[in-house]
Amino acid sequence: MVEELIVNCLPLTEEERKTFQEASPEIRQEFVGDPRHRSDMVWPCHVPQELREKATAIIGNAPVDEVRECKNLRWLQTYSAGVNSYTGEGILPKGVLLSGASGAYGQAVGEHMFALMWALLKKLPLYRDNQRKDLWQDEGPVSTPEELKVLVLGTGDIGSHFAVLSKAVGCHTAGVRRNASHCAPGIDDMHGFEELEDLLPQSDVIAMSLPSTPDTRHLINRHTLSLMKPNAIVLNVGRGDAIDSDALGAALHDRTIQAAGIDVTEPEPLPEDHPLWNEPNCLITPHIAGGNHLEATSREVLSIVLENIRRYAAGKPLLNESK
């Protein structure tokens, strides 16, 4: 019988390490994270060579090649919401529990998407461009969020946070999800994906926080962009491949739509010569909406992981367990 050993790669303080150890007093934990990396966008994670054969659980997004060497692994808990990096053939031994930190990033990413919307409604990127050119110039009419029709594609934690903020400033929100019978916070009307083409011509803002799946790949493409209003704003903070980047660039260039705010792209990072960089009505951030820049996110991640350590030690089902 292999002795249980949790290799904890989180950047915990000494006090937090005590709390984590108290959550599973019967299981030894080795703390290998460095608290100096707490505010890093992505927390580094490394399982020391001498612990790989002994590790029965890993807390953190360890490199795949290191995970493969952990032959006695029984549980992997990521600090990211997604766990796709570890679901490939041969990465985890059969029967290993895999869980993520879904639910920790809604506030940070939802607020970021909300900020993108506000900036584009008020044409702030254009004025920033003018500032860099020492240009004092009126860029014309702007929009208000009051009575805007916002279409939220993906109504999980992120989409719901964004929807709640949008409703607070007067927007009407419609949501799109696989099961339209399930409601979500902040959503006035819920729809299925089969209704998307009917909803796009009615929407002022299309806000996307979708996972990467075969069904969502290039959901926004030349055809669906052509259905949108000329004043439509497209936002994407989910996965870059939900939008055809070339089609988006063409739609902005031809003024088929008004503007776009994207934190994710396909490919990623966006190549230096891609036309989207030079579209004045495209606001691009480098996949930084999530991560750990917001302290509230870090606290939520630690809370989820701490609860899962308790559940693992007690043999109970885990939060966000991948089936």
**How far are the Cα atoms of 4, 42, 80, 134, 196 from residue 263, in angstroms, in the given order?**
40, 16, 17, 27, 22
75-77/97-99 β-pairing: parallel
**Three-state DSSP class for 150?**
strand
Question: What residue spans of 11-123 are helical by DSSP H?
Answer: 14-23, 49-52, 64-68, 106-121
181: CB partners within 8 A, 6+ apart: 190
Sheet holding 57-59, edge to edge: 28-31, 5-8, 57-59, 75-77, 97-99
Torsion 247-251-257-258 (CA) sign: positive
Question: What residue spans of the chain are helical by DSSP H?
Answer: 14-23, 49-52, 64-68, 106-121, 124-132, 157-168, 196-199, 222-226, 245-253, 295-314
In 3D, which of 29, 32, 64 has the Cα closest to residue 47?
Answer: 32
Residue 117 has a pLDDT of 98
164: CB partners within 8 A, 6+ apart: 110, 185, 186
Average pLDDT per block of 10 residues along the chain, 323 residues long? 91 97 96 93 94 97 96 96 90 94 95 98 98 97 96 96 98 96 96 97 98 94 98 97 98 98 97 96 95 91 97 96 87
Q: Tell me the chain's radius of gyration from C-alpha atoms.
A: 22
